[in-house]
Amino acid sequence: MNWPPDEIRILHVDDDSNFLDVTAELLERENDRFSVETATSPKEGLAMVRDRPLDCIISDYDMPNTNGIEFLKRIRENNPKIPFILLTSKEIDTVASDAISVGVTDYFQKKRISSQYTLLTNRVMNAVKQYESDKRRERWRQAIDVATDGVGIVSADGEYVQLNDAYASVFDTSKADLAGTHWWEWYPDEQVQRFEEEIFPALRKKETWRGRVVGRRTDGTQFDQVLLLSLLEDGGHMCIIEEYEN
């Protein structure tokens, strides 16, 4: 999903239909990307969650038969990550621990002031943005794991933070042993100097670099590899080993 998306789909559940109507109107007024659907009971809300894609759920805490915590439990059975914001007229401390224990994303105390809708809009936007970011990271992790090329992620301080089995096998080691080490531990000194003086300046200038380098395996033997580097927004970089000498 590009951020921000053209439409952010919200389900609001509350047994007070008047409050639902007002909240939907004001949220959509606060942010024209919001599309708010409503349900007057958790049962109706569960059916709507099953039937359509959603980006966020807002629910009242005080409802007859099934309160917001019980509703959240049911949601989490099949939707463990979707943002869920709990609204309550009670003091936050009285519901916070229960809400956190079942995976609430955020909670918000109802107040009869117009500014609460601006605050709620911001909470929704932050929750949805984090949700989408987490999904992108998970998709990226899955893509790395199944890639046939060796793929590794190096943090801004030079540490391997993510890699696949194919990347580790090039250095004749395992993911567990390679993760957490620094990239320069796997290259001869003259290559480390080349990275610092030639390769990284070129990478920072063009955001990508591709070329042949010499790596070092766990037993100290050296080997040629064709390496593709891509600069990441956080200052780290992605490494793809396209070819290497067996």
* Per-position pLDDT tens, the chain of length 246: 566 788 999 999 999 999 999 999 999 999 999 999 999 999 999 999 998 899 999 999 999 888 999 999 999 999 999 999 999 888 777 788 889 999 999 988 887 667 889 999 999 999 999 998 888 777 777 777 767 789 999 999 999 998 999 999 999 999 999 999 999 999 999 999 999 999 999 999 999 999 999 999 999 999 999 999 999 888 899 999 998 887
User: What per-residue confidence (pLDDT) applies to 24?
Assistant: 95
Continuous segment of H or E residues that includes residue 10: strand 8-13
User: What per-residue confidence (pLDDT) applies to 17?
Assistant: 94
- Helices marked H in the chain: 17-30, 42-51, 68-78, 92-101, 115-146, 165-170, 175-178, 189-194, 200-206
- Domains belonging to the chain, first-starting first, are 8-142 (3.40.50.2300), 147-244 (3.30.450.20)
Continuous segment of H or E residues that includes residue 238: strand 237-244
Q: Are 38 and 64 in contact (CB under 8 A)?
A: no
Q: Quick check: helix, strand or coil at residue 207? A: coil
The DSSP secondary structure of 114-181, one letter per residue, reads: THHHHHHHHHHHHHHHHHHHHHHHHHHHHHHHH-SSEEEEE-TTSBEEEE-HHHHHHTTS-HHHHTTS
User: What per-residue confidence (pLDDT) applies to 146?
Assistant: 66
Q: How far is CA 129 from CA 106, 134, 213, 245, in A?
A: 13, 9, 38, 42
Q: Which residue has the tokens 């099934």?
A: 66
User: What per-residue confidence (pLDDT) applies to 2?
Assistant: 61
